Amino acid sequence: MRAPVAAVLASAMLVFFSVQRTFTRAPRLTASVGANVSKCTRKVSGSLRGLRTRGGSLASAGNPMRLSATHATSYPVSSTAVASPPKVDTIEKAKGLLDSIDTIIFDCDGVIWKGDTLIDGIPETIDFLRQQGKSIYFVTNNARKSRAGFKKKFDDLGLQIKPEEILSSAFAAAAYLDKIDFQKTGKSVYVIGDVGIGEELDLLNIPWQGGVADQGKQIELKSGFALPHDPNVGAVIVGFDYGINYYKIQYAQLCINENPGCHFIATNLDALTHLTDAQEWAGNGAMVGAIKGCTGKEPVVVGKPSPLLIDYLVQKFGLQKDRILMVGDRLDTDIVFGNENGLKSCLTLTGVTTEKKLLSDENKIIPDVYVDSINAFRGA
């Protein structure tokens, strides 16, 4: 079933594929990505005010507008046979793809970099795409950094990216609270996560606690002990937290279970994440799962594949959805995000998804095309 989330977000976030006839477009199929996504995404509709600008240019989101958005609650699977997606592996195919789009949205982890290591050839590819007149944006489920933090990472890796070209799930979480007028409640937010969430909340003057300050905290269990918690916490945001501990889990469940009306927000449900270039690591789905397990509650998910970030981009920059290509390395977030929101979708094999998994009979989430890496866009 679809559960409406009252008057939320869409304009808040002010926020191939018809490649000639050379390509035969594979039937676009999306699959259930598990109860975690099918239950956790919400339907959002209504008229909303534009995102308020507090705290500088990174918080700016333009003029108030009206926008409605729908959060799909399931991803149905067709019983029709699934055709393999075409692979872009020649310069001719790459040209056909680029001719069909105006805008490219890149995921970051597993697409641009892995951990702190830039994937080979990325600077040249981004320069090439800009020379071709393509608009480029970066939308990441990684909430460890704010947009300012990601701008610094791009700079450190030698990539010249504008702040307005970067969107993260930490930004999405803060903007969600802003659009439900959370500040008017006089309540604060408890954060499980890294510095990025707190930095985005600060830009919108939303009080918060927890985060990295609670790393290393321990609970000494003894007879009659009860962990005190703030009854004024009105929302819990769960983002990736490599310092998660029992204290944080217990504090979060107390807020959600005992504070009336406390919001439960997840930045994303990614099962795995890229912390180093040597292996995959348990992702935010593990942190969210811990809180779901002790509360029995489903979170509002603000990162991919939720439509919130694409609605923000489309409305703020006047983009045409069917001329946008979403490029990512995850089937259940990036490709579902593209397919379910009317975009063209491209899977890159530089991240968590292998070609074997993509082409297996078990996989029902099919991108429009796939590439070995995004360097294929320039024939490399």
Which of 102, 202, 230, 372 is catalytic? The answer is: 102
Backbone angles phi, psi at 236, to 5 degrees: -120, 125
Q: What is the token pair recorded at 231?
A: 């009854």
C-beta separation of 206 from 198 below 8 A: no
Both tokens assigned to 20: 């000639």
Closest CA to 201 of 184, 176, 180: 176
CB atoms within 10 A of CB 27: 11
Q: How many angstroms separate the Cα of 243 from the Cα of each of 193, 207, 216, 233, 377?
A: 8, 21, 7, 21, 38
| Catalytic (active site) residue 372 | no
- Whose tokens are 């075409």? That residue is 86
What is the distance between the alpha carbons of residues 348 and 346, in angstroms, rounded to a whole number?
A: 7
For residue 370, which of 354, 350, 349, 347 has the smallest C-alpha distance? 347
Active site residues: 102
